[in-house]
């Protein structure tokens, strides 16, 4: 380790890795560039945003049987949010990058390859490419900028530094192509990881975060909407992309002051919300809070609600409310094998899932806090697959692709999780049935009541029973079609 004095304030600055050429003074945030025989101050680096990641400079762990220490960080912003790249130094002096985005982590190293790699402008989420001799699916295509740095880094970087990167996945394998320096990208290859799997030590705890930010990680805080003045509850650092529940203005609360990104142009009236923002639940001995809610519609006009839940120790997941009931959905770190977007099957962990359908979806209402930017009108192509009661869904936009897995949740389970905050069937709320569903119930009643007469005199009662069922069912279908097509 090499120790130098900061040219700006005189504080000690440590270079643990001989490969590091830049360090950020933790006292005055001066960017210090190291060459063969001297160091120089090349300007101030913006302080990192308090994003409440448990990782910090000095966090240690084990990967692939070798011990490592986190020695630096780049914080980057793209159109939908921010993420961290932590610079990792191993005991054998080799280095790697620990990606940190909304609770999903990857460990990657630079790797040489002879493959002919695609141009950045040719990439599209969902398409498959051969990289390092293996098939990968494009997951994210990002134009981003560096907004802050911390610790030591292997190259010169500063606030406003623009990057072009693309991420690819193959089950747990992960590749990043970095096109920042030109058309021939630098390749970083690795795998999806978890902090528990890395045996991480010296992670930040709630008390440490409280001292650095004055707020406990996971605690709901509030701010006044700069557009209309209404109070908005959110979780500082964990979810800073906000949609005001009152005026639906889109806000960015990642900085010291909330900024209005856009005034709402479209508001979906009469949205039936079952779980209110701020509702809390105890799930698997972990505390969760409903922080965001959006309503989506498919190509045929069917609509459903999605509620974003956050737990300080367990991260994010979704509760989805449809006419058929509730389900819990989690983003998958390990991706299924799906040969192409035309394939009618995919496989994950030895299980094959059959395609149900694909459709376009659009956000028609949003409110609360999210860990990425949500806007009314956002469009997504969804491909759903099913095996038993478990469903997988691939969602594709122009910039990214994600996979999620969902399982049904019973009404009594929802009631046990949320108690009085849940207004579903278990809490005494009536389910709104469609005309067709209501007709089916009445048809079942008619058939049961006529079961005995039909058994005694089948031929004389069959025709009237059929006509009665059609008289109930056909008008119901007509009414549901009119309701779906009406504005």
Q: What is the pLDDT of residue 371?
A: 77
How far is the C-alpha of 6 from the C-alpha of 28, rounded, in Å?
Answer: 9
Q: What is the pLDDT of residue 486?
A: 45
Residue 177: which of 193, 160, 190, 159 has the closest Cα? 190
How far is the C-alpha of 185 from the C-alpha of 178, rounded, in Å?
Answer: 5
Q: What is the pLDDT of residue 341?
A: 92
- CA neighbours closer than 13 Å in the CB half-sphere of residue 454: 11
Q: How many other CB atoms sit within 10 Å of the CB of residue 242?
A: 28
Walk along the chain (487 residues) and give the pLDDT tens digit of each residue: 666 666 667 666 666 666 565 566 676 666 665 565 555 444 555 566 666 688 999 999 999 999 999 999 998 888 777 889 999 999 999 999 999 987 789 999 999 888 889 999 999 999 999 999 999 999 999 999 988 888 888 887 766 788 999 999 999 999 999 999 889 999 999 999 999 999 999 988 756 654 555 443 445 566 677 777 777 766 665 566 777 777 777 766 665 555 545 555 544 556 788 898 889 999 988 889 898 999 999 999 899 999 999 887 678 899 999 989 999 999 999 999 999 999 999 999 999 999 999 999 999 998 888 877 888 889 999 999 999 999 999 999 999 999 999 999 998 899 999 987 775 444 444 444 555 666 666 666 766 666 655 555 555 566 666 777 777 667 766 666 565 444 4
Q: Using an 8 Å Cβ cutoff, are 464 and 453 in contact?
A: no
Q: What is the pLDDT of residue 431?
A: 47
């Amino acid at each position: 380790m090499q120790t130098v004095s900061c040219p700006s304030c005189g504080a000690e600055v440590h270079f643990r890795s001989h490969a590091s050429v830049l360090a950020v003074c933790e006292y005055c945030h001066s960017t210090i560039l190291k060459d063969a025989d001297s160091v120089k101050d090349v300007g101030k680096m913006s302080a990192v945003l308090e994003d409440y990641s448990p990782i910090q400079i000095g966090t240690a762990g084990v990967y692939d049987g070798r011990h490592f220490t986190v020695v630096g960080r780049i914080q980057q912003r793209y159109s939908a949010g921010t993420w961290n790249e932590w610079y990792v130094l191993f005991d054998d002096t080799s280095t790697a990058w620990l990606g940190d985005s909304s609770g999903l982590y990857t460990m990657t190293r630079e790797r040489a390859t002879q493959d002919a790699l695609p141009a950045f402008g040719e990439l599209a989420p969902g398409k498959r490419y051969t990289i390092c001799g293996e098939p990968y699916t494009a997951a994210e295509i990002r134009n981003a900028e560096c907004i802050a740095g911390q610790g030591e880094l292997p190259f010169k970087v500063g606030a406003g530094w623009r990057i072009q990167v693309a991420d690819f996945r193959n089950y747990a394998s992960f590749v990043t192509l970095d096109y920042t320096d030109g058309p021939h990208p630098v390749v970083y290859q690795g795998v999806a990881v978890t902090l528990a799997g890395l045996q991480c030590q010296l992670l930040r705890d709630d008390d440490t975060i409280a001292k650095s930010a004055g707020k406990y990680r996971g605690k709901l805080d509030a701010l006044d909407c700069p557009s209309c003045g209404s109070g908005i509850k959110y979780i500082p650092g964990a979810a800073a992309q906000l949609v005001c529940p009152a005026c639906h203005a889109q806000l960015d609360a990642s900085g010291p002051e909330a900024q209005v990104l856009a005034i709402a142009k479209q508001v979906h009236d009469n949205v039936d919300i079952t779980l209110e923002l701020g509702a809390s639940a105890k799930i698997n001995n972990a505390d969760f809070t409903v922080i965001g809610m959006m309503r989506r519609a498919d190509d045929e006009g069917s609509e459903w609600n999605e509620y974003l839940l956050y737990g300080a120790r367990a991260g994010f997941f979704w509760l989805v409310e449809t006419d058929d009931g509730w389900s819990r959905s989690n983003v998958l770190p390990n991706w299924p094998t799906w040969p192409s977007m035309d394939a009618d099957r995919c496989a994950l962990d030895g299980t094959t899932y059959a395609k149900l359908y694909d459709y376009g979806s659009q956000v028609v209402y949003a409110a609360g806090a999210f860990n990425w930017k949500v806007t009314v009108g956002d469009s997504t192509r969804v491909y759903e697959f099913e095996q038993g009661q478990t469903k997988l869904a691939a969602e594709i936009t122009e910039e990214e692709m994600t996979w999620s897995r969902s399982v049904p949740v019973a009404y009594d389970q929802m009631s046990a999780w949320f108690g009085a905050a849940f207004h579903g069937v278990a809490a005494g709320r009536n389910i709104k049935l469609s005309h067709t569903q209501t007709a089916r119930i009445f048809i079942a009643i008619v058939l049961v009541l006529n079961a005995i007469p039909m058994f005694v005199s089948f031929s004389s009662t069959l025709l009237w029973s059929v006509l009665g069922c059609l008289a109930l069912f056909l008008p119901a279908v007509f009414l549901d079609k009119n309701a779906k097509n009406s504005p």
